[in-house]
Amino acid sequence: MSNAITSTLRKGPIVASLLIGAFVALLSQTLLNVALPKMMADLNIGSNTIQWLVTGYMLVNGVVIPVTAYLISKFTTRQLYMVAMGLFSVGTVVAAVAPDFGTLLTGRLIQAVGAGIMMPLMSVVFLTIFPIEQRGKAMGMMGLAMIFAPAVGPTLSGWVVEHYSWRVLFYIVLPLAIFSLIYGALSMKNVTPISKPKLDVLGVVLSTLGFGGILYGFSDAGNDGWDSTRVVVSLIVGAVALVLFVWRELTAKKPLLEFRVFKFDMYSLTTVINVIITMAMFSAMVLMPIYLQNIRGFTPLESGLLLLPGAILMGIMSPITGMIFDKIGARWLAVIGLIITAFTTWELSRIALDSTYMHIILIYSARMFGMSLLMMPIQTAGMNQLPQTLNSHGSAMSQTLRNVAGALGTALLVTIMTNRAADEGEALKNAAGIDPSDKTNPQLIDIGKEATLYGIQHAFVVATWITIAALVLAFFIRKVKPHHEVLKSEGNAKAEAANS
């Protein structure tokens, strides 16, 4: 789209539509975190199974997002928005009425398809309608919606789960989804150019097998152990499929994911940092409610309220961080943010059975403050290096890897927690001289809490080292000018000709 058109376009209604849609999608994702312990009890399932409501959502996002580069070229902005919010609404209804875990997961995955289209669409539209000197502020607005949802989600979820069924959470989301669908139908405009691309079907199959196989292996290791045949086969199939997927994308004329975006060094660096941060961030969203409710006995509402100040702080800081980024760039924002995040993640690895409510609030809120300084600046710094013709590909690659990293990070750290807790539980039972077949011994409750806490502490130690790896890389971030040349693949040459 030409600058002349974007300068006369009424950006307000378009931005509002996208922000509302993104808010609803992200609210749905974060609503369930505080409700997970209650859902585990109601559905009679363990932490390794329930976490599929989170990791499955992110995995489907990760598989769908690469296809959005194709969809954005094939369909109008308005059509894609309507399909995304329509699918999201259908998934919400399925989840609300689900009679069992399988149906509930199916509803979540349908929601995830809609959200997987919505988030990259918002990024590409923002990068299209805002000039580069305003992108920091624009991405700050986008960050506001992405942070405001997690701010509202846990507290609302805690209150609902404490007083009503967890199903009510989906009935709250449904009217918001329908409103965003109607508002978007009235206000969304077509801002992205349309061509006639071909879908790389083999790429879709290989990416699904690759990401899905690795995630399933990581998740199932918590139940069957790392030496289980099922886990080993899943990981091998996933790894082989991913290698074939990368080879396919590098040789395809119309790749599903444009791996040549990694030709741009700053984009590559910031994507790696974002992947690492996301692994550490999403895992805490599952681990903290388990600690607060199952170990400490806090109510769901108390758990939600504890997470609220950090989320509000993150929401307040998002536009401020965007403005600071426009002035000084991403490096020092990222470094300071990661120092704070690493320190506070280490502090979370030391939480105990008697840690005070206020202490946990302060640590968690400080961690969210650190995150608020780095998420959007790092992503924007990398995207700014890409020529506009690669915006959709860069956005798709970045968000795919972040979603997959979030799913894998959560699966890995929940598995680490589960395995460590099981080992510690056995050691404590042996030390206390408890017969393994005796399920009625009153000491087992305290031993279970102590073992689970040990597992959570160990998972946060691993998350700390993951964060430190990102901190080291952040020192290499630098300001770059956007590239205006186009990667001369056949697909890009045709796209350039179509747009001229």
pLDDT score of 93: 92
Which residues, 6+ apart, have CB-to-CB distance to 39 below 8 Å? 32, 50, 53, 166
Which residues, 6+ apart, have CB-to-CB distance to 396 below 8 Å? 65, 66, 68, 69, 120, 257, 258
pLDDT score of 107: 93
Contact call for residues 190 and 74 (beta carbons, < 8 A): no
pLDDT score of 1: 45
Q: Which residue has the higher pLDDT, 327 or 347?
A: 347
Tokens linked to 269: 């660096």
Which residues, 6+ apart, have CB-to-CB distance to 86 below 8 Å? 114, 181
Tokens linked to 161: 């789960």
Collapse the DSSP code of 191 into the 3-class scheme (helix H, G, I; strand E, B; otherwise coil) and give the result: coil
Mean pLDDT in the chain? Answer: 79
Task: Report d(CA 465, CA 456) in Å as an integer.
Answer: 15
Which residues, 6+ apart, have CB-to-CB distance to 399 below 8 Å? 61, 65, 119, 120, 123
Type of residue numbered 17: S
Contact call for residues 148 and 298 (beta carbons, < 8 A): no
Q: Which tens digits make up the pLDDT trace of 205-219?
A: 888 888 888 877 877
Q: DSSP letter at 483?
A: P
The full DSSP string for 137-175 is: HHHHHHHHHHHHHHHHHHHHHHHHHHHS-TTHHHHHHHH
- For CA atoms 311, 126, 467, 240, the dihedral sign is positive
Task: Report d(CA 83, CA 175) in Å as an integer.
Answer: 17
pLDDT score of 94: 93
Q: Which tens digits make up the pLDDT trace of 221-264?
A: 766 677 788 888 988 998 999 899 889 888 877 777 788 888 88
